[in-house]
Chains A and B, each alone.
Chain A
Amino acid sequence: MSQAGRTDAELVRRCRGNDADAWNELVERYSRYVYAIAVRGFRLSEEDAEDVFQDVFTRVYTRLDSLRDDTALRPWIAQLTRRRCLDALSARRDVPADEELTKEGSSDLSDVEEAFEVREALAGLSEACQDILDRFFTRDQSYKTIADELEIPSGTIASRIARCLGRLRGELEGRNQDDEGSRD
Chain B
Amino acid sequence: MTRLYDEERLGVLLRILRPAPVGWVRAAQELPAARRTFDEIVARAEADLAFRTALIADLEQALAAEGYEPDRRLLHEIRERLSDS
Contact = CB atoms under 8 A, between A and B. Distances in A.
B24 A50 contact: yes
Interface string A11-50: 0000000101001100110011111100010000000001
B16 A54 contact: no
A32 B14 contact: no
Interface string B21-45: 1001101110110010000000000
Nearest to B8: A165
A39 to B, nearest CB: 9
B85 interface: no
B3 A31 contact: no
Nearest to A23: B32
A18 B32 CA distance: 8
B47 interface: no
Contacts, number: 96
B13 A58 contact: no
B13 A115 contact: yes
Contacts of A62: 35
Residue with the greatest number of chain A CB neighbours at <10 A, chosen from B10, B16, B21: B16
A87 interface: no
B24 A112 contact: no
B18 A138 contact: yes
Given A54-B24, A62-B35, A172-B3, A31 B19 contact: yes
B7 A162 contact: yes
13 contacts: A23-B29, A28-B25, A36-B16, A53-B20, A54-B27, A57-B28, A111-B16, A112-B16, A116-B17, A169-B7, A173-B5, A176-B2, A177-B2
